[in-house]
């Protein structure tokens, strides 16, 4: 293995060596915030306020996480309930967004119908709106449907994802029409074409929107704040946000806040590492070659 690696390195030109060195250094630099988050969460109380600040933890300790779970156990709602709500909401939201967005993307990319141009324009226009600008309409809709304090109240605001639909339209458009026509000639129904051709070929784009959707839902605080009055229906992001906000001016609680921040970050890191190759395929539009 070492001999093979040496042979590959010997074949590189000077320019390629420089590029590899520069990008390796850039990757290491971009990894510094991630390394800091992990180190910061394991710093004992006396290391958090050292001056000058230390990047690396000297005496790592699990005490921060023990204090976090001790604080959660003393609360009215247990920590596991917030975690359970977040897992259920994130999983169901990602699944429903994938189904709705892929179906909408397939129809808008491969079918002709009246007002198609208007719908595409509205989807593009909706990308310009920040989530805060639609908070009041969302609240009125959720209240009007009487789905406050339900899991569906968490899912519905994220169900219509303009970014996901927009991305899938561009990706599904690359699928050759001849391939779909051949499937029709073979007797495949529209549902069969969608399930056996469109979905498998759209996996890179689906992986990308899964990451975006999961990150948005996992860290979402607005839904629990506006739509959920029952504390048992709120998510882990809401609990951590209230915990960190309450500890902003509390020196003794900064280690708990560091541990909570790491717990919120780890799932995002895992899902990104799991789907990163698919994301790159989406960015280069490698649908059908």
Instruction: Give this prediction's pTM.
Output: 0.80
Lowest mean pLDDT segment, chosen from 9-18, 109-118, 247-256, 264-273: 247-256
Q: What integer is the mean pLDDT of 40-61?
A: 80
Q: What number of H helices and E strands is found in the chain?
A: 17, 0
Half-sphere exposure of 141 (CA within 13 A, CB side): 13
User: Residue 285 pLDDT more than 60?
Assistant: no
**Rounded Cα–Cα distance for residues 24 and 275 (Å):** 21
pLDDT tens sequence across 146-156:
888 889 989 98
Give the pLDDT mean for 173-194: 87
Report how far residue 289's alpha carbon sits from residue 285's, in angstroms, rounded to the nearest whole number: 10
Confidence (pLDDT) at 106: 92
Say yes or no to pLDDT of 42 above 70.
yes
Mean pLDDT (whole number) for 60-82: 77
CATH topology of domain 77-283: MetI-like fold (1.10.3720)
**Could you tell me the residue ranges of all domains in the chain?**
77-283
Q: Which of 64-73, 156-165, 277-286 has the highest mean pLDDT?
A: 156-165
Least confident of 7-16, 44-53, 232-241: 7-16
- The predicted pLDDT at position 289 comes to 42
pLDDT at 85 over 80: yes
Q: How many residues are present in the chain?
A: 289
Alpha-carbon span 260 to 241, nearest angstrom: 9
Q: What are 227-278's pLDDT values in tens digits?
A: 888 888 889 888 888 776 655 555 656 777 788 888 888 888 888 887 777 6
- What is the pLDDT at residue 102? 93
- In terms of Cβ atoms closer than 10 Å to its own Cβ (0-12, 13-18, 19+), residue 106 is buried
For residue 128, count CB atoms less than 10 angstroms from its CB and return exposed for 0-12, middle for 13-18, buried for 19 or more.
Answer: exposed
């Amino acid at each position: 293995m070492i001999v093979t690696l040496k042979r590959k390195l010997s074949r590189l030109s000077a320019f390629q060596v420089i590029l590899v060195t520069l990008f390796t250094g850039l990757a290491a630099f971009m990894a510094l915030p991630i390394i800091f988050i992990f180190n910061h969460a394991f710093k004992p109380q006396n290391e958090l306020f050292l001056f000058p600040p230390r990047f690396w933890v000297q005496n790592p300790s699990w005490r921060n996480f023990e204090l976090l779970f001790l604080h959660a156990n003393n609360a009215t709602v247990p920590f596991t309930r917030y975690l359970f709500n977040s897992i259920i909401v994130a999983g169901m939201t990602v699944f429903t967004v994938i189904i709705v967005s892929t179906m909408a993307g397939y129809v808008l990319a491969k079918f002709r119908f009246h007002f198609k141009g208007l719908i595409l324009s509205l989807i593009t226009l909706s990308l310009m709106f920040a989530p805060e600008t639609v908070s009041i309409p969302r609240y009125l809709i959720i209240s009007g449907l009487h789905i406050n304090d339900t899991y569906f109240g968490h899912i519905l605001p994220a169900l219509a994802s303009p970014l996901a639909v927009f991305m899938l339209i561009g990706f599904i458009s690359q699928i050759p029409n001849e391939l779909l026509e051949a499937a029709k000639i073979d007797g495949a129904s529209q549902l069969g074409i969608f399930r056996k051709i469109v979905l498998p070929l759209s996996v890179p784009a689906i992986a990308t929107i899964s990451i975006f959707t999961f990150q948005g839902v996992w860290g979402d605080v607005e839904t629990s704040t506006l739509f959920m009055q029952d504390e048992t229906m709120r998510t882990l992001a809401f609990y951590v946000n209230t915990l960190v906000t309450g500890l902003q001016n509390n020196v003794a609680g900064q280690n708990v806040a560091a541990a909570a921040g790491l717990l919120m970050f780890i799932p995002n890191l895992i899902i990104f590492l799991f789907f990163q190759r698919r994301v790159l395929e989406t960015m280069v539009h490698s649908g059908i070659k």
